[in-house]
Amino acid sequence: MPAAKCRKTVRDALIALFTLLLATATAVTRGQESPQAISLSLGDYHFTPDTLEVQAGRPVVLTLTNTDTLTPHNFTLQEAAAGLDIDTNVSAGSTSVVRFTPVKPGSYTFFCNKKLLFMKSHRERGMEGILRVIPAAAD
Ligand SMILES: [Cu+2]
């Protein structure tokens, strides 16, 4: 192989390698920005699990499933300064999806706001939990 052609082949190979590395780095960066998917069951006056952990600055897709056959439930978390302003009803046997992006690390209490007249509220019966927002990962 003549020296000039050989150099061109090496150069082309380096360009291909660099392009591959760049594509990989881009894919990894995108992965960090992808939504955080969490599922929560609401039933029998409990949230399962009752503690959630998410990263600040990344969108969250929260799927709420009411596993009871008759009782409607709700997910309330109102901390506007932390990017959390949620009040979503989930009727018996159905699923609701909530999207939000927490902006401030901390521990925030969520609960079910349902209450039947003269009865204890669902929250008083144990229907509350904690959303822990941890700082964003360093880049
Ligand atoms: Cu409830």
Check residue 38 and give left, alpha or beta (phi > 0: left; psi -120 to 50: alpha): beta
pLDDT of residue 111: 98
Whole-number Å distance, alpha carbon 66 to ligand 1 midpoint, is 9
Whole-number Å distance, alpha carbon 5 to ligand 1 midpoint, is 73
Kindly report the pTM of this predicted structure: 0.76
Whole-number Å distance, alpha carbon 89 to ligand 1 midpoint, is 9
74's CB contacts (< 8 A; 6+ apart) are: 87, 88, 89, 90, 112, 113, 114, 122
Check residue 79 and give left, alpha or beta (phi > 0: left; psi -120 to 50: alpha): beta
pLDDT of residue 107: 98
Average pLDDT score over residue span 31-51: 91
Average pLDDT for the chain: 87
Burial of 77 (0-12, 13-18, 19+ CB in 10 A): buried
7-32 confidence digits (pLDDT tens): 676 667 655 655 555 555 544 454 45
Who wins on pLDDT, 23 or 56?
56
In percent, the amount of the chain with pLDDT more than 90 equals 73
- Give the confidence band of 137 by pLDDT, cuts at 50, 70, 90: confident
Domain residue ranges in the chain: 1-34, 35-134
Whole-number Å distance, alpha carbon 70 to ligand 1 midpoint, is 11
Place of tokens 């039947």: 116
Sheet strands (E) in 17-124: 36-43, 46-48, 51-55, 60-66, 73-79, 84-90, 95-100, 106-111
pLDDT of residue 5: 67
Give, in order, the Cα–Cα distances in Å from 77 to each of 14, 74, 86, 122.
52, 10, 5, 15
Q: What angle do CA 15, 4, 1 make, to 5 degrees?
A: 100
Lowest pLDDT segment from 6-10, 39-43, 117-121:
6-10
CATH number of 35-134: 2.60.40.420
Q: Alpha helix (H) ranges present in 34-86?
A: none
